[in-house]
Amino acid sequence: MYSRSNENSSSELCDRIGEVFRGLGFAGASIASVAESAGLSKASLYHHFPDGKLQMANRVVDRAVSLADATVFAPLRSSEPGLKRLDAMLDGYLAYTDFGKRPCLLVVLGQSAPEPIRARIRDQLRTWQLLVESTLCELRQVKPKRAARLAEDTLCGLCGGTLMAGLLGDPATTQRAIKRLRRVFEAHA
């Protein structure tokens, strides 16, 4: 249950709302289901989010972007060699998705939320794609055009692997996708 006394209560509330969106999508997440998950009345929920579900989704996206950036993509900004940074990114993605057991919230909302939220997610994915691309350019035999294609393939592999894991009920699908990406990266190191 959500606790106001908890110093991380805002993050906790966003996480609870995010789990409802993760499981039901934007359209399927009713105010009643969000309030129940948060342990709040609808009135209390509207006190925190006066603009309703769209405001909730925006805050959840803010938090999801922050977590994904810190967990998955921050290693790409380090001074480590390119392959080591790419491996750390893949390890971060496994941690972010609990080894494929949890779908990526940004992927879920990117498919089901209203256009302004989808646009924000698209822009963030493009930023991360460029970060992956620039890291790939540091590997031998990876020219810019190839790096752009590999960066797109990398995000498709990550997001698609997790999506398939959820559809098939098999988290190992994500883990296999990560192994394939590691082999691709190693082939270019």
pLDDT, tens digit (0-9, with 9 covering 90-100), for 13-62: 999 999 999 999 999 999 999 999 999 999 999 999 999 999 999 999 99
The token pair at 188 is: 């270019």
DSSP 8-class letter at 139: S
3-state secondary structure of 169: coil
Residue written as token pair 């380090």: 78
Per-residue pLDDT, 7 = 39
Q: How would CATH label the architecture of 54-187?
A: Orthogonal Bundle (1.10)
The per-residue pLDDT for range 116-143, each reduced to its tens digit, is 999 999 999 999 999 999 999 999 879 9
Residue 188 CB-half CA count within 13 A: 24
Sign of CA dihedral 140, 145, 146, 150: positive
Closest CA to 160 of 120, 110, 115: 110
Cβ atoms of 117 and 57 closer than 8 Å = yes
pTM of the model: 0.89
